[in-house]
């Protein structure tokens, strides 16, 4: 079995086709388990509804989706079971700071009220990724799951995102599917599959 101590970061590496993304999908409950089990905080996932499973996971995919609403709302959507307008601005800004996004958001024409365009297309890949990290931070779930979060970024964006990931992972149980050495270096433990 593979276990991750609470508050630690595990990097899962391996060549394409080895099952890294399948592991992420198993954790997210996309596939039924034929054998074995997945537990978060000692609770077996198969005993819960999909909604209950996802309540315990903050997920940052390789290409995050941004909604056609303000950046503040995009971040606030991470807060489960709370309407985005009910999330205090201070909490949104704190999450953006952890995610290395506050400075670039402040410089946008309408700051946090900027609408990032369809699917976030007026932002760079690194900026979209940092908003997705802020959304995961504000969620404050027991497990942070990162699926190739830096693989599509240029070197400068990768550095900014890695700084954000390093802060976001502090004190959180994290599974990081990665292949870039600089991202893998953030982990407490590395497993190759």
Residue-wise pLDDT for 7-31, tens only, equals 899 999 988 878 888 888 888 878 7
pLDDT score of 142 more than 90: no
* Cα–Cα distance measured from residue 81 to residue 58, given in angstroms and rounded to the nearest whole number: 14
The 8-class DSSP code of residue 118 comes to G
* Cα–Cα distance measured from residue 46 to residue 65, given in angstroms and rounded to the nearest whole number: 27
How confident is the model over 124-139, as pLDDT tens digits? 889 999 999 999 999 9
How confident is the model over 64-86, as pLDDT tens digits? 899 999 999 999 999 987 888 89
* pLDDT number for residue 6: 87
* Cα–Cα distance measured from residue 92 to residue 76, given in angstroms and rounded to the nearest whole number: 6
Please state the φ and ψ torsions of residue 166, each to the nearest 5 degrees.
-60, -45
- Residue 135's alpha-carbon distances to 44, 48, 73, 121, in angstroms, are 25, 23, 9, 17
Confidence of residue 41 (pLDDT cuts 50, 70, 90): low
| Radius of gyration (C-alpha) of the chain in whole angstroms | 16
Going by C-alpha positions, the residue among 157, 109, 156 that lies closest to residue 132 is: 157
What is the overall mean pLDDT for the chain? 87
* pLDDT number for residue 62: 85
Over pLDDT 70: what percentage of the chain? Answer: 96
Spatial contact of 13 and 150, defined as CB atoms under 8 Å apart: no
């Amino acid at each position: 079995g593979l276990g991750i101590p609470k508050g630690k970061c595990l990097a899962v590496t391996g060549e394409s086709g080895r099952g890294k993304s399948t592991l992420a999908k198993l954790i997210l409950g996309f596939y039924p388990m034929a054998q074995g089990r997945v537990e978060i905080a000692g609770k077996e996932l198969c005993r819960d509804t999909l909604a209950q499973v996802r309540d315990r996971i903050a997920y940052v995919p390789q290409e995050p989706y941004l909604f056609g609403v303000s950046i503040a709302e995009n971040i606030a959507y991470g807060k489960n079971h709370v309407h985005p307008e009910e999330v205090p601005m201070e909490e949104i800004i704190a999450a953006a700071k952890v995610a290395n996004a506050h400075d670039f958001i402040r410089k946008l024409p309408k700051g946090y009220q900027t609408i990032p365009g369809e699917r976030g297309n007026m932002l760079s890949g690194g900026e979209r990724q940092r908003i997705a990290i802020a959304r995961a931070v504000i969620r404050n779930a027991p497990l942070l799951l990162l699926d190739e979060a830096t693989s599509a970024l240029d070197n400068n964006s990768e550095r900014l995102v890695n700084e954000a990931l390093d802060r976001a992972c502090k004190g959180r149980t994290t599974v990081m599917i990665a292949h870039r050495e600089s991202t893998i270096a953030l982990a407490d433990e590395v497993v190759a599959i």
